[in-house]
Amino acid sequence: MTSAPQAAADFVKETAPGFTPRVGIILGSGLGGLADQIEVVASISYDDIPDFPRSTVEGHAGRLILGRLGGMPVACMQGRIHYYEGTDPRDLAVPVRMLKLIGIEILLVTNAAGSFRKKMGPGSLMVLSDHINFTGLNPLKGENDETFGARFFSMEEAYDPILREHLAAVAKELEINLHEGVYLHYLGPNFETPAEIKAFKTLGADAVGMSTTPEVLVARHCGLRVAAISNITNLVAGMSKTKLSHEQTLECAKLAAADLEKLVIVFLETLKRELLKAHLRSTENGND
Ligand code: HPA
């Protein structure tokens, strides 16, 4: 029987024959605008992709866009599902595995998050250096599919140090203040209590949100290189008087959206140059 990721990948490949994306991008709450910058080859509703899980959350359009961004062939997911939507955690493996099967080598994940640092307020961007999966859930639970990866695998350097360096260099060039820190995944759908926030601070969290870790776990399991960026929409509960709500998240996601778009586009442009150089070096060495 064809697996769900394979059925989804077959459909996507038939829709855009001959197109091979190298980078997958997952856009978080209120960050869908980046998709408007893509030179579109194909735009596919999640509803049309067989066996593909669909988000019920406002601000998550539910489209897979194939095309070029910063000159790089990309597959961009405009919207994602979350554990709190009640889906089987294993469903969250489908989108990333589909992206792997259609050819991506790098996954760039974005999310909206609350910040534990006063100096990293709404409108800031944070590159993830690591994460704490506080949900107790895992999309890889159950029988292991060896075709994607080994049962047990390391999560050291899950957030690729070289990609993080590239992002930092691009941010510097663009004069964007790019923070770096640890993201804690809280199940949601409620925002945290101030007591939980106090506890998470002692655990080492710099930002908190309700997504990202499932996709990163699935990506690392199948050997994809990963980078992730949080768009900080608020200071965490108890640190400011702002009342937290999804509307507040969507509204404040706009603050750093332009910086995030520039950062991602120039990052992809430099990545394309680097990949080209590496390819040329390998052909010069007769490895092609
Ligand atoms: N907590 C959890 N998720 C979030 C937050 C937050 O403060 N802000 C945006 N997403």
pLDDT tens readout for residues 115-148:
999 999 999 999 999 999 999 999 999 999 999 9
| 248-251 own/partner pairs: CB under 8 Å, 24+ apart | 249/29, 249/30, 249/59, 249/112, 250/29, 250/30, 250/58, 250/59, 251/30
**Averaged over 28-57, what is the pLDDT?**
89
Measured distance CA(280)–CA(125) in Å, rounded: 33
Mean pLDDT of 188-214: 97
Q: How far apart are CA 54 and CA 157, in angstroms?
A: 30
Q: What is the mean pLDDT of residues 48-75?
A: 89
Per-residue exposure over 257-285, b if at least 16 CB sit within 10 Å of its own CB, e if not: bebbbebbbbbbebbbeeeeeeeeeeeee
- What is residue 228's predicted lDDT score, i.e. its pLDDT? 98
The average pLDDT across 234-249 equals 88
- The angle formed by the CA atoms of residues 101, 32 and 100, to the nearest 5 degrees, is 10
The token pair at 60 is 């998550």
pLDDT at residue 288 greater than cutoff 60:
no
Query: Residue 59: pLDDT band by 50, 70, 90 thresholds?
Result: low
With bands split at pLDDT 50, 70 and 90, how would you rate the model's confidence at 30?
confident
Rounded to an integer, what distance in angstroms lies between the CA atom of residue 235 and that of residue 240?
Answer: 6
Mean pLDDT of 9-20: 96
CATH numeric code, 4-282: 3.40.50.1580
236 lines ligand 1 (CB under 6 A): yes
Residue 63 has pLDDT above 60, yes or no: yes
Tell me, what's the pLDDT at 153?
98
User: Using a 6 Å cutoff on CB, does residue 249 contact ligand 1?
Assistant: yes
pLDDT greater than 90 at residue 83: yes
- The reported pTM is 0.94
Q: Please work out whether the CB of residue 209 comes within 6 Å of at least one atom of ligand 1.
A: yes
Mean pLDDT of 250-264: 89
pLDDT value at position 9? 97
Q: Which residue has its alpha carbon closest to ligand 1 atom 7?
A: 114
Q: Where are the domains of the chain?
A: 4-282
Helices 93-101 & 4-15, crossing angle to 10 degrees?
A: 50
Site to probe by mutation for ligand 1, drawn from 231, 244, 248, 250 as the one with most ligand atoms within 8 Å of Cβ, is: 244
Question: How many A from CA of 208 to the centre of ligand 1?
Answer: 6
Q: How far apart are CA 28 and CA 189, in angstroms?
A: 15
For residue 288, give both structure tokens.
């092609």
CA of 280 from ligand 1 middle (Å) equals 43
- Catalytic residue numbers? 29, 60, 82, 84-85, 112, 210-211, 234, 246
CA distance 184 to 211: 9
Residue nearest to atom 2 of ligand 1 (CA): 209
